[in-house]
Amino acid sequence: MAVDPKLSHTAAMILQALNAGYIYGFSVMEMTGLPSGTVYPALRRLERDELIRSHWERQSIADAEQRPARKYYRLTAAGKSTLEVSRKRYPLLERFIPAEEARSV
């Protein structure tokens, strides 16, 4: 991975959304307004670049709510530092998806 990777605005938005607590693909879509064909490939790339990490929800939780288990994404330490750099580059990012809107899932 590059020491200081330059993220596109879209990738930075997705990172910001994940950081704000929108931790699965569809919620990122809803928050950013990006289409599924952009969000999911971007999530794969960010995971490949080790900026985010994915994990499956526990099956018992999904079973209790009678729905399929979801795949969640979280920022890694490298992802957080990259997001910090991206915020300086795209100052409106934080205003667009404020951290206060973060929700727990």
Judged by CB under 8 A, the residue of 49, 69, 81, 90 near another protein is 69
CB atoms within 10 A of CB 13: 24
67 sits near another protein (criterion: CB under 8 A): yes
Nearer to another protein, 6 or 44 (CB): 44
Tell me the closest approach of the beta carbon of residue 18 to another protein, in angstroms. 15
44 sits near another protein (criterion: CB under 8 A): yes
Which DSSP string do the residues of 31-82 spell out, in sequence order?
A: HH---HHHHHHHHHHHHHTTSEEEEEPPHHHHHHTTS---EEEEE-HHHHHH
Tell me the closest approach of the beta carbon of residue 68 to another protein, in angstroms. 4
- Interface with another protein (CB under 8 A), residue total 19
Judged by CB under 8 A, the residue of 22, 25, 82, 83 near another protein is 25
Q: Which two tokens stand for residue 66?
A: 């009678």
Binding stretches for another protein (CB under 8 A): 24-26, 29, 35-41, 44-45, 48, 67-71
